[in-house]
Homo-oligomer: A and B are copies of this chain.
Amino acid sequence: MGSDNPSGAGNQQERLVRRGWVIGFVDGEDCFSIGFIRQKDRVGHKGYRTGYQVAHEFVVTQGAKSVSCLHELRDFFGVGQVLVNNRYDNHREHLYRYVVRRRKDLLATVIPFFRQNPMRTSKQQDFEKFARCVELVDSGSHLTRPGLIEIAEITQTMNRQKPRDELIRILRDHTPDVRDIGR
């Protein structure tokens, strides 16, 4: 990946330790999320057939003091971006996020990495559910109500994800015009 340099045993060692660091670091966080964004038809914009867009995101958050490790992740994977979340509340430092949202990058880079290098906590099960959702979106499942219901059902069994009962009920009932469910 990005910063790999194949020369020398020292580099090889360093690369293996770095790979382990990435697995361990992501293992300690909640990094995989699936959101549902209300997208109905509006002026100049054709909405989604189901009324919802599925947002998939691999994200690692750190305070300003540790932003360098997010750039390391960016270099390691070679995809995604480091973004700033300016904070003007009573927190001590701004937050930074390393984010990969593009489906192509998730499918070609992030998902294969964590399949080949599994985490050691129950986060691996969440990751597998995340990967399954991204693959369902890639196959177009989210464009039909039954497919979107399947994605919502998988999502709500992930750790620290919101219940999606209301969204699932709405999709099942074909309720024509509902308020935004939020992400």
Among B68, B69, B120, B122, contact of A21 (Cβ-Cβ < 8 Å): B120
Interface segment among A11-19, A36-44, A81-89, A138-146: the answer is A11-19
- Encode contact with B along A33-65: 1 for CB under 8 Å, 0 otherwise: 000000000000000000000000000001101
Q: Determine whether A90 belongs to the interface, using a CB cutoff of 8 Å to chain B.
A: no
> Which residues of chain B have C-beta atoms less than 8 A from A163's C-beta?
none
Q: How far is the CA of A16 from the CA of B19 in the complex (A)?
A: 9
Q: Determine whether A117 belongs to the interface, using a CB cutoff of 8 Å to chain B.
A: yes
* Contacting residues of chain A (106-145) with chain B, CB-CB under 8 angstroms: 117, 120-123, 125
Question: What's the number of copies of this chain in the assembled complex?
Answer: 2
Q: How far is the CA of A66 from the CA of B123 in the complex (A)?
A: 8
Among B13, B16, B68, B121, contact of A120 (Cβ-Cβ < 8 Å): B68
Among B13, B25, B68, contact of A25 (Cβ-Cβ < 8 Å): B25
Interface residues of A (CB under 8 A from B): 13, 16-29, 62-63, 65-66, 68-69, 72, 117, 120-123, 125
